Chain A
Amino acid sequence: MTLPAWIVSLPLLAAVFTFVFPRIRIWAGIFTAIITPLMVVFLGREILAHGAIQMQVGGWQTPLGIQLYADGLSVAMLGITAIVIGCITFYARCYFTGDVSSRYFWPLWMFLWSALNALFLSGDIFNLYVTLELLGLSAVALVALSQTADALSAAMRYLLVSLTGSLSYLMGVALLYAANGTLSIKLLATTGAASPSIATAFALMAAGLIMKSALFPMHFWLPPAHANAPAPVSAVLSALVVKASFYILMRLWLVIFEPFINPSTAQLMGVLGAGAIIWGSVQALVAERLKLLVAYSTVAQIGYLFLIFPLSSITQSNHTAWQGGFYFVLSHACAKSAVFLAAGSVIYSFGHDRIKELHGIVRRMPVSMFAFALASVSLIGLPPSGGFIAKWLYLNAALTGGHWWWCVLIIIGSLLATAYVFRFFSRAFSYSPEVVEERPVPWIMEWTALGLALCALILGFIAPAVTTLLDAGNPF
């Protein structure tokens, strides 16, 4: 079973290939964008049939070799990555037209994909560090592709945050290794014991990962980076990159730390999540640029992810909360990338994204705006959409345990999301007879955004299948 290794290596090979032979870069990229999802599908079938699989790369055993591990959760993350990156690849082909940025975009893009896949498949905490670092570096480089002064300073800040976060994580890894003599997540789960060093390790790792996933109040770096990056990059940053560090935190929490950590830690994370929801939404409500609005919406939505900690600590609804949290990850990935792509098409067409000046664009780019609207349905959490399923699971988890205050928070968050989305739409739908200069948007750009938005919608109907996949191999 070498499929996991191929899922990591194919984009990596493509990265090398696109760099060495730039003339065929686009075709290499598209080839990868078609083949990788297929491999993920096969891996998913394998896991649904036989449960989690482990693989030693090159045959080296645990302490020395690289261990790959795949269960239902990894496959779900790989799958959503394949869908999102696959779609954006087609978008990017039209977005970057023949200049320098296109030349560097493709190798970095493929590299980023490879890093993400490796991250979701890693079975030990040091490899996770390596992939996290690779991911951070390629993401920073992609932000800098915008080449504007704003983008460069945002990229610089992003780089510093990313390095600090990884370093903090690495110190935690060192502590765990010193205490337990192993790096494998599986082995750590069985050998770990409550001790000051494990608590410190958790604190360091959690701090690093929280910083990288931009949880309030460590979100300061996210809005400029996501709003100033080129649209395909913004989409993937919001949809996947911030989720990657959240994913690591989840894994560690689930397997290693949950029994040792003071329950109030979970509540604290929930409170920070609440702060993110309120603060992010309010900032989105006053943002003057469309992409900034969307970036602040990401800040808010990350808050929802962290509600998973307090909700899963309610005994009766533990499982529901986990499913809800990861359903959030999946549907937000589709919805947010669709929204960013649509916003990117607006910029592509009009050269700016100042909300006040976007009168009546529903008429000018109906497909993109439809995609934006459809994805917003999921972001707000209205049915039928993946976002609704996630919120429903959360509400269910909270109410079953009688923790109604989280429900109030979730509903307030939804109403705020409605407000910021419709603030934009009440511009977009208004009528203005004036003629604005616009550059025609290639149809692929509009329809890939719609495709992703439809994925978010479809997630609202296939929850039984998805939750079965998430449960495969018992990650929770």
Chain B
Amino acid sequence: MTFDNWLPLLILLTSLLPGIVIFVLPEERVRWRTTLNMGGAILKLGLIGIMIWGVRHEHVYDFRMPILPNIELVLNADAMSVMMTALSGVLWFLTTLYAIAYLETSPQSRSRFFGFFSLCVSSTVGIALAGNLITFIMFYEMLTLTTYPLVVFRGTPESMRAGRIYIAYTFGGGAAFLIGVAWLKALVGSVAFTEGGMLAPYVGAYATQLRFIFFLMISGLGVKAALVPLHGWLPKAMVAPAPVSALLHAVAVVKAGAFGIVRVVYDVYGIEFSGELGLLQPLTAAAAFTIIYGSVRALFQDELKKRLAFSTVSQVSYIALGVGILGPIATIGGIVHLVNQGLMKITLFFCAGNFAETLGVHHISHMNGIGRRMPWTMAAFTLGSLGMIGVPPMAGFISKWYLGTGGLTAGKPWVIAILVASSLLNAAYFLPIIYRAWFREPAGSWSARPSIGALETHWMLLFPPLITALLALLAGLLADAPFSPLEWARLITAREYRP
């Protein structure tokens, strides 16, 4: 075992161990807790940096531990896992910062919050680094378990109800996924992720069974990815505290589902083989429907976080859409959206949290003139929503561009129609917010401008959305630069389609 073997495990442990220690720390040890959290997050970023460099140079990082006869726990790094890991590493760092300030006055136990928060991120990293379906399942279920206490963190009847719905949906999905995996294992004996897929040789004997297994696995993953009609839990789960919603929508739960779909289609079935089996049409159809449905529902929400939640339902399906269209360009679009959507959506949720925490504003109808009171936050929000609409040069434009071109190249012009409709709807539910915030007269008691020199809110609440908004902008502006998300998505795609 060399350093290269241990690196994936180390990255996992940088959040797992602090999480465990935080549980044991007494409530009042704030400084210890902060140090552990931030230390772990920074260490993780450093290790991820090493890994990014290594994977680009075709280094192999591979940790194996047998957990059953002929089944191993495998953590390894391919281009795709590095992307997810890096996304979660960066966003964890910022969200922790945000959460420390956000929960300063919470009556609930912060040890519990940060403990589960770290476990939640560890599960995300585990999902990203999982080298086979068994390992994936382990962390996938761990993610469900560790987010439950975060969703119900406030303990109000409303959040308990949301928690119950969340559990019912996700464990139902988890069960379907588990059966799919067990079946596949019994059928072909191997469940390792392989670039380019590994099931093509079995088509003759098991075509029907493989189709059924695909259906089971995708519907299991679709629950977390909030594919309609499996999305019901997501808008309810927004009762969670803002940092939790931010992480849930950007990188943790929803992304875990989307990432799982990418894995199953590309690294288990193989994109060409999925096409041969005729599995991609239903997937793209479900994704397209979800995109429109989510946007339409978002139009009618007055609660800001709810509107954002429905927007997530819609946006995450861009990933599934890109995945389901055969052809490298659409693949790039889907995969790059994993990162882009994460950056934009976390910005929006951070901002929503700031409005709620600083001014007590939860509803869009109360947001008149909020841009004058909190210009920086609102600027970040504006950037994020423009990105969602797909205005160049924001990151969202890159995703949509590649998805659209990919659809055309694959001979599916209807993809353009979906994208246009969705963008119009996005504009219809985001632009009014922006208009209200900047151009209407302030109405609330907070209408006074902040005094010159004073920050509009706590600096730890303000900087995270500014940074993520900036990153979302840069991901679009510098899309062609080395190590940009787009460039990395191209690398992944090149390896997936490698002959």
Q: Which residue numbers of A lie inside 8 Å of B, CB to CB?
A: 360, 362-363, 366, 370, 373, 377, 382-384, 388-389, 392-393, 395-396, 399-400, 407, 411, 414-415, 418-419, 422, 425-426, 429-433, 460-461, 463-464, 467
Q: Check if B145 is an interface residue, CB within 8 A of chain A.
A: yes
Question: Which of these binds chain A: B156-164, B321-329, B480-488?
Answer: B156-164
> Are B137 and A383 in contact, with the CB atoms below 8 A?
yes
Q: At the interface, yes or no: B171 with Cβ under 8 Å from chain A?
A: yes
Interface pair B69/A429, CB less than 8 Å apart: no
Cα distance A363–B152 when bound, in Å? 13
On whether the beta carbons of B186 and A382 are closer than 8 Å, the reply is no
Least Cβ–Cβ distance between B115 and chain A, in angstroms: 9
B182 engages A396 (CB within 8 Å): yes
The 5 closest A-B pairs by CB, nearest first: A431-B155, A399-B186, A383-B138, A395-B182, A382-B141
Residues of B within 8 A of A411 (CB): 175, 178-179
Give me 30 A-to-B residue pairs in the complex whose CB atoms sit less than 8 angstroms apart, sorted by A's number. A366-B112, A373-B145, A384-B67, A384-B138, A392-B68, A393-B68, A395-B178, A396-B182, A399-B185, A407-B179, A414-B171, A414-B175, A415-B175, A418-B167, A418-B171, A419-B168, A422-B163, A422-B164, A422-B167, A429-B160, A429-B163, A430-B155, A430-B160, A431-B107, A431-B155, A433-B107, A460-B67, A463-B67, A467-B68, A467-B69
Interface size on B, residues (CB 8 A): 42
B145: contacting residue among A377, A389, A392, CB under 8 A: A377
Question: Given A382-B141, A399-B186, A426–B67 Cβ distance below 8 Å?
Answer: no
Bound Cα distance from A396 to B181, whole angstroms:
10
B67→A389 contact, CB < 8 A:
yes
Which secondary structure characterizes the binding site on chain B?
helix
* Most chain B beta-carbon neighbours within 10 Å: one of A360, A383, A425: A383
Query: How long is the Cα–Cα vector from A382 to B139 in the complex, in angstroms?
Result: 10
For B164, the chain A residues whose CB sits under 8 A away are: 422, 426
Q: Which residues of B contact A370 (CB under 8 A)?
A: 23
CA of A414 to CA of B167 in the docked complex: distance in angstroms? 13
Interface residues in B118-155 (C-beta closer than 8 Å to A): 134, 137-138, 141-142, 145, 148-149, 152, 154-155
Give Cα A269–Cα B163 distance, bound, in whole angstroms. Answer: 37
Q: How far is the CA of A400 from the CA of B149 in the complex (A)?
A: 37
- CB closest residue in chain A, given B138: A383
Chain A CB within 10 A, most for which of B65, B107, B137, B171: B171
Across-interface contacts of B392 in A (CB, < 8 A): none
B186 lies within 8 A of A366 (CB): no
Chain A residues, CB < 8 A from B174? 382
CB distance from A468 to the nearest CB of B (A): 9
Pair B68/A426 contact, Cβ less than 8 Å: no
A392: B residues at CB distance < 8 A: 68, 71, 182
Q: Shortest Cβ distance from A427 into chain B, in angstroms?
A: 8
Closest chain-B Cβ to A359's Cβ sits at a distance in Å of: 8
Complex-state Cα separation, A414 to B142, whole angstroms: 15
Residues of chain A within 8 A of B178, CB atoms compared: 395, 411
Contact between B186 and A396 (Cβ–Cβ < 8 Å)?
A: yes
B49 at the interface (CB under 8 A from A): no
Query: Distance in Å from the Cβ of B334 to the closest Cβ of chain A?
Result: 28
User: What residues of B have a CB within 8 angstroms of the CB of A382 in the complex?
Assistant: 141-142, 145, 174
